Amino acid sequence: MTATTAAQSFKQAGLFSDKRYPRGLARSGVFTFSEAQLLERHGKAFQQLSAGLQQPENDIEQHFIEVAHGRAEAISAEEKVWLKYQKTLTRRSYTLTSSNRSNSNDDDEGSSDDSDDLDL
């Protein structure tokens, strides 16, 4: 799909932003600059079409809905970036932490909590 075709499709007023990306989509490290621009320009339309709140106006938007619901393969940049955005919503993030907490049983050699010393 060309930029002209995209401009004729996915009409929705206003810019798309997501509170999950407070510094903006372009600075998130997840999306390229061009992907972030597509989402910012057409993200509201993508969201409305995907949720069924806006009716498709042409075949391009109809195909977008099919892709968004997993019934077709993504072909256009718009479809691919929307799927990428959707994946970021369901991705879990993990954080590794360490603790320098000392165990009070470390100095106790005769502790009865040792799992090695089992009486059978």
Residue-level pLDDT at 10: 75
Cα(80)–Cα(31) distance, rounded to whole angstroms? Answer: 11
3-class secondary structure, 90: helix
Q: Which of 24-28, 35-39, 61-65, 94-98 has the highest mean predicted lDDT (pLDDT)?
A: 61-65
Q: Where are the domains of the chain?
A: 21-90
Nearest of 6, 22, 27, 18 to residue 85 by alpha carbon: 18
**Predicted local confidence at residue 62, as pLDDT:** 96
Model confidence, pTM:
0.65
With bands split at pLDDT 50, 70 and 90, how would you rate the model's confidence at 4? Answer: very low
Which range, 40-49, 59-68, 81-90, has the best average confidence (pLDDT)?
Answer: 59-68
- For residue 82 the two structure tokens come to 């929307």
The answer to whether 55 and 40 have CB atoms below 8 angstroms apart is no
- pLDDT score of 102 more than 60: yes
